[in-house]
Amino acid sequence: MKSEPKKIGMKKHRSVWTIDESKYLCESELKQLRKISNKNMRRRKFNKLRNWFMIELGLNAGLRVSEMASLKHKNLLLGEDRSSIKVLGKGNKKRAIWISSGFKKNCRRYIELKKEFGFSIDEDTHLLNNPNGYKITKRALQKAFKKLIEKAGLPSHYHIHCLRHTYTTFLLKASNHNYRFVQQQLGHASIKTTQTYAGVLESEGKKALEKIYS
């Protein structure tokens, strides 16, 4: 008995993930968000302080919201010869993120102020917590970000993940398009994911054409 011929189905094409200018903050939007965040931080309320640090953490380390919520004090390496954050990312993959000297100072500042509010800074406690001292949820961070976006008068389509996109875009430009370094910072499994930001950089290049001889 002859076996039936195998049915050859159509290959499913994966949708290609892309990034455009609507997914990251431009320089003026970035300044406006930081202006509101810094202003709120000085109001001597812990939530305002935590939300300020949440913004700076996203902009200076490019963390996913799940990574932010899971961070503990022991994950910050802020010794004299250390400037990095240990992260457990997607697929339980560990990575170390290098941070700038300026952000290192902000990390120390946040920890000192958090202690003044009476919260524990023991190494096994979470870096970002709610007013009761417990680990903050991803949803709470997302809502806090949305409130800051609204106060800053920025478009409502921005979500907290735009901080990661903003970090990536600005780091690529600052590193002269060093995709390998940026891939390591972000924890992308494939450099192809990092290279999806090339389109954004190309659009920046097109803008530069208008100023080439001005």
177 is catalytic: no
Comparing CA positions, the residue from 83, 86, 22, 33 lying closest to residue 55 is 33
For residues 67 and 89, give the distance between their C-alpha atoms in angstroms, rounded to a whole number: 6
Task: Tell me, yes or no, if 158 is annotated catalytic.
Answer: no
- Which of these is catalytic: 31, 90, 93, 143? 90
- The C-alpha atoms of residue 57 and residue 55 are separated, in whole angstroms, by 5
Query: What does pTM read for this prediction?
Result: 0.85
Told to judge if 64 belongs to the known catalytic residues of this protein, a careful annotator would answer yes
CA angle 100, 126, 70 (to 5 degrees): 75
Q: Which domains does the chain have, with CATH numbers?
A: 21-205 (1.10.443.10)
Q: Examine the residue annotation and report whether 13 is marked as an active-site residue of this protein.
A: no
Q: What is the pLDDT of residues 24-45, one digit of tens each?
A: 999 999 999 999 999 988 878 9
Could you confirm whether 72 is annotated as catalytic?
no
pLDDT tens track for 75-117: 999 998 899 999 988 888 899 999 999 999 999 999 999 999 9
Q: What is the pLDDT of residues 166-211, one digit of tens each?
A: 999 999 988 888 989 999 998 888 888 888 887 776 766 666 666 6
User: Bridge-partner residues for 72, per DSSP?
Assistant: 126
Q: Choose the catalytic residue: 86, 135, 159, 161.
A: 161
